[in-house]
Amino acid sequence: MATFTFRTAGETHGPALVTIVEGVPAGLPVRVEEINRELARRQVGYGRGERMQIEKDEAEILSGVRFGKAMGGPVALLLRNRDWVNWREKMAQDGDGEGIPKLDTARPGHADLPGILKYGHEDVRNVLERASARETAARVMAGALAKVLLRELGVAIVGHVLSIGTYQVSAAIEGNRKAAERAEGSPLRMADPAVEAEVMRWIDGLKEAGTTAGGVVEVIATGVPPGLGSYVAWDRRLDGRLGQALMCIPAIKGVEVGGGVGLAGMQGIDVHDEVFPGGNPAETFLGKFLLPFHRDTNRAGGLEGGMTNGEPVVVRAAMKPIPTQSVPLRTVTIDRYAASTAHRERSDVCAVPAASVVAEAMVAIVLADAFLEKFGGDAMRDILYNYSGYLQRICGE
Ligand code: EPS
């Protein structure tokens, strides 16, 4: 059973999103401002649609926290949808829906068609309301708590955008946390301003043309010790757990760890990261412990045998272009499967920057879970004590 876990509830045009986070250790500092900062990072990005001008995501802490610290119980978080006032009738929880028009065409690429078949709905809205990527805001609230936990354990984590369409940031930025951090606050969360300017022009063109963009995001975590996850059972392998956490973000179609797919075409001699005696002072754990060995490359992305190996964890996720198009795609009606065109919903042209923040949150949640699994303790100080003891053993101090 997962140690640090969460569940979300809520529809995109319902009254609110809710997140319940379990496994938050007693004594973890929890401040609503930190959660709101993460929510704000997810909301911005060049190419987002009108909805983001309506919302200003702000969390409310409903339980589990007293005087700025977690008490050890579930932390419930609420995020109200400002747009709900415009949807009260269409999204009413009572009544029979009389007079409310039904959405009767399924948009290709969305959950619409398999969703109505699976749940037996006669209105596509019953699917899209929950399938909407709005739900990722609720994940980011859980991720904010995971990030605080990781920070207390000396881990720094950043999500940024490697490419949008065919435009890629300079290769020197890939896998480099310090370089990636320069993306913070930029219009597309890209750490390469020249490329970013070109992408912004391309996005303007796509908007004119009524279509959308995808891209690749990367998450880098440093200060992660060797030995999180395990090789002894399939479901304890951390690369598998990270893969699931990234793949389940809406619109993600591919995930890579380190050199990823590119490694398949190389010779083994050029792939594996050789190990040399002596620690790398740039890679410390809990800010002071140094491993007695180092590597000069990280093609493994910090994961060997389903475990972290002490190198930065580097994972990537590829997002397909958003399915909702202004130029409608061909599809069928959901009643008689007659030829039709997809209904036009308000949409973003590009949400890749937001996806990089969501990916960061999901990776933080998996790493927080793996930390608690290994150094478990109900209170922050027990976890820190257990973790320091382990570092003393493996770092030889
Ligand atoms: C989304 C459609 C748009 C996006 C939404 C995801 O919302 P709406 O239909 O209200 O215009 O803006 O993203 C968010 C609301 C968000 O917070 O990220 C979809 O269909 O997935």
> Which residue type occupies 115?
G
From the list 304, 155, 315, the residue with the least C-alpha distance to 237 is 304
pLDDT tens digits, one per residue of 22-43: 999 999 999 999 999 999 999 9
What value does the mean pLDDT take over residues 324-345? 90
Is 230 a pocket residue for ligand 1 (Cβ < 6 Å)?
Answer: no
Helix ranges (DSSP H) in the chain: 32-43, 51-54, 112-119, 125-131, 135-152, 177-180, 193-209, 238-247, 268-271, 352-375, 380-395
Q: Which residues contact 163 (CB under 8 A, 6 or more apart)?
A: 169, 215, 216
* Nearest protein Cα to ligand 1, atom 18: 134
> Which residue type occupies 97?
G
Is 368 a pocket residue for ligand 1 (Cβ < 6 Å)?
Answer: no
Answer yes or no: is pLDDT of 1 > 60. Answer: no
CA atoms in the 13 A half-sphere facing the CB of 56: 0
Is 212 a pocket residue for ligand 1 (Cβ < 6 Å)?
Answer: no
Answer yes or no: is pLDDT of 335 > 80. Answer: yes
Report how far residue 68's alpha carbon sits from residue 70's, in angstroms, rounded to the nearest whole number. 7
* Structural contact between residues 220 and 180, judged by C-beta atoms closer than 8 angstroms: yes
Q: Going from the N-terminus, what domains does the chain have, and what CATH number goes with each? A: 5-395 (3.60.150.10)
Residue 294 is predicted with a pLDDT of 97
Q: Which residues contact 18 (CB under 8 A, 6 or more apart)?
A: 8, 9, 10, 76, 77, 78, 79, 138
Is 134 a pocket residue for ligand 1 (Cβ < 6 Å)?
Answer: yes
What value does the mean pLDDT take over residues 334-338? 94
Is 131 a pocket residue for ligand 1 (Cβ < 6 Å)?
Answer: no
Mutate to test the pocket of ligand 1, among 54, 107, 132 (most ligand atoms within 8 A of CB): 132
- What is the radius of gyration, based on Cα positions, of the chain? 22
Is 129 a pocket residue for ligand 1 (Cβ < 6 Å)?
Answer: no
Locate 321 and state its tokens: 């272009």
CA of 221 to the centre of ligand 1 (A): 28
**Cα end-to-end span (Å), the chain:** 33
Is 137 a pocket residue for ligand 1 (Cβ < 6 Å)?
Answer: yes
Residue of 346 and 386 predicted with greater confidence: 386
Residue 209 is predicted with a pLDDT of 93
- CA 75 vs CA 56, 65, 138, 212, 293: distances in Å: 22, 7, 13, 36, 40
Report how far residue 292's alpha carbon sits from residue 394's, in angstroms, rounded to the nearest whole number. 8
Mutate to test the pocket of ligand 1, among 8, 12, 112, 127 (most ligand atoms within 8 A of CB): 12
DSSP per-residue codes, 66-132: ETTEE-SS-EEEEEE-GGGGGTTTTT-SSS--TTPPPP-BPPTTSSHHHHHHHHT-SSTHHHHHHHS
Answer yes or no: is pLDDT of 377 > 90. Answer: no
Mean residue pLDDT of the chain comes to 96
